[in-house]
Copies of this chain bind each other. A is one copy, B any other.
Amino acid sequence: MKALLLIAHGSRKASSNEEVEVLAQSLSSHNHDFDIISHGFLELTTPKVSDAIEALVAKGATDITLLPYFLAAGVHVSEDLPLLMANAKKQHEGIQFKLLKHLGAAEQMADWILGYADNGRNVR
């Protein structure tokens, strides 16, 4: 059973955290190959990533893809997340974990940005 976990930093600003929650819900409603999609935060708010992973395992996930919803590879991406995955592997033996590169490292980013910039509807 395949799960996708969107991992965001977490903010003191409730509306920022809600953006992530809404996005995770929106992901679920799109076409995809995952059986469950959820989200977790590193800091400042909940659900914490470790709790989100536990919830996915409790729901039967056996293959969990962690997607860091970050544009830059700061300490969280380069150090905290690999450690977090190593701990998750220890705690949940038999579950497959896969840590994707942070979204900002996507090869498609330049295309995404240019498509976005050309679309007149994106103006504030």
How many residues on chain A are close to B (CB under 8 Å)?
51
Task: List CB contacts (< 8 Å) of A73-124 with chain B.
Answer: 73-75, 82, 98-101, 103-118, 121-124
Chain B nearest CB from A83 CB (Å) reads: 13
Is there contact, CB below 8 Å, between A27 and B72?
A: no
| Chain B residues with CB below 8 A from A111, complex form | 30
Is there contact, CB below 8 Å, between A106 and B122?
A: yes
Is there contact, CB below 8 Å, between A4 and B117?
A: yes
Task: List CB contacts (< 8 Å) of A15-39 with chain B.
Answer: 15-16, 19-20, 23, 26-27, 30-34
Is there contact, CB below 8 Å, between B71 and A100?
A: no
Q: Nearest B residue to A70 by beta-carbon distance?
A: B71
Is there contact, CB below 8 Å, between A116 and B110?
A: no
Residues of A within 8 A of B (CB): 4, 6, 8, 11, 13, 15-16, 19-20, 23, 26-27, 30-34, 65, 67, 69-75, 82, 98-101, 103-118, 121-124
